[in-house]
Copies of this chain bind each other. A is one copy, B any other.
Amino acid sequence: MQQKNGEPLGAPKHVLIVGGGFGGLRAARDLAGAPVRITLLDRCNHHLFQPLLYQVATAGLTAEEIASPIRSVLRKQRNVRVLLGEVTQVDLEARVAHLAGGQVIGYDYLIVAAGTETNIYGHNDWQPYMVGLKDLEDAFELRRRILLTFEAAERCNNPEERRRLLTFCVIGGGPTGVEMAGAISELSRSILQRDFRAISGDMLRVVLVEMGPRVLAAFDPRLSAQAQKDLAQLGVEVHTKGAVTKISADGVQLGDTYIPCSVVCWAAGVKPQSLAKNMGIAVTRRGNIPVTSDCSIEGHPEAFAVGDIASFIPAGQSLPLPGQAPVAMQQAGSVAANIKRDLKQKKRKPFAYFDKGSMATIGTSRAVLQYGKFRMSGLLAWLAWIFVHVYYIIGFRNRTLVMFNWFWAYLTKRRGARLLAQAVAVPEPSLPAAASSPAQQPAPATEGVA
């Protein structure tokens, strides 16, 4: 391993980074010049620009436009080794990580940045009838179900069943749910409609369900109201105070209200990856790894956790920082800087979060933004949203052409990404469903209603 500016310290320290998301990647990059050898482990081979994942699910962008192989991103950094693998357990005392498959990797420094996964709060029986939105597989599955239900609707002669096939339900009124509902509505109304003969805009129904009293609860109430207005203009039906009591193959039950629908997107919650529980420490009530003021684990200054798998409570506050990309990146940067300070026998600095504000987009020309006491909505907020996302995409891809493609695709709304890889014969909706696993086929294809 190369040491660009390393003093003769003997063997370089080994930094093990678990996860190649916003936190893990930033940590690896910030340690580029340091006299360490880095191993970055991820279960996937790519870094995913998650904020735009909903666009893959709605056929606006291709996977390649928002994801890059991690080893490509870090190609030029000689002190890092990228491995495909899943860490299932960490022994903090022995300073080793256990991988699925049995391999063991030791470390001098550990940075856990494994993130979160979809949380359905124990309702495992709902699983086959809904799709989360956390990784590319989710996005592909959502896209597949959306496209297939249009195909089924095109062939369906029963108006009631066709109405059900053309009803989409998004659960969770946070930024992901709002963006997803808006994007499904835009995709459906403006694009797919012109390719089909039997479907028209008035048959479509997009429902957004939020348990709390308003969408975008983390934003200013005025922005929530604006977002709700924008959603209504895009044709999205918003049900606030709506608690999902059941999700089945042909619809969603909200207490007394039943919504017959075909595709259900679950954006109502995440939980830390199970690795958090397998590190021999007490996790928080939500399952996060509690960390101290320098993002290290109590009693283990060599082990850090960053991003939404960690729970960092700023001094003098009671709530942990939110699970957002800027938090993960800033924490990773702080951790990398403290490791470098360690190597120079300097004193560590505590992590301080700099809030860059929040934004969410509802659809073309519609977004909300808040920064400190500043609030904005509409076209300008949307342009700011585009600018920030393009800026960060360039940050990791650094390819003008890709950015141009992305921008072009977004503006022209070409939906090139509308491919169904598998050959699928859609059974007639008016015929009995074939006996097949619901997890393998989407609701519209298997659930026939006369």
Contact = CB atoms under 8 A, between A and B. Distances in A.
A29 interface: no
Contacts of A405: 401, 405
Contacts of A255: none
Interface residues of A, number: 57
Contact of A428 (B45, B103, B425): B103
Interface in A338-391: none
Given A405-B405, A424-B43, A425-B43, A416 B68 contact: yes
A195 B44 contact: no
A140 to B, nearest CB: 6
A218 to B, nearest CB: 28
A30 interface: no
Interface string A384-414: 0000000000000001011001001000001
Interface in A176-218: 194-197
Q: Determine how many copies of this chain the complex contains.
A: 2
Contacts of A45: 147, 151, 418-420
Contact of A100 (B72, B399, B427): B427
A388 to B, nearest CB: 23
A105 to B, nearest CB: 10
Contact of A420 (B44, B62, B399): B44
Given A85-B155, A140-B421, A423-B86, A431 B68 contact: no
Interface of A: 43-46, 62-64, 67-69, 71-72, 75, 81, 83-86, 99-103, 135-137, 140, 147-148, 151, 154-155, 194-197, 399, 401-402, 405, 408, 414, 416-428, 431, 434
25 contacts: A43-B423, A44-B420, A44-B423, A45-B418, A45-B419, A45-B420, A67-B419, A68-B416, A69-B418, A72-B418, A81-B197, A83-B154, A83-B155, A84-B155, A84-B420, A84-B425, A86-B425, A100-B425, A101-B426, A102-B428, A103-B428, A136-B419, A137-B422, A399-B414, A402-B416
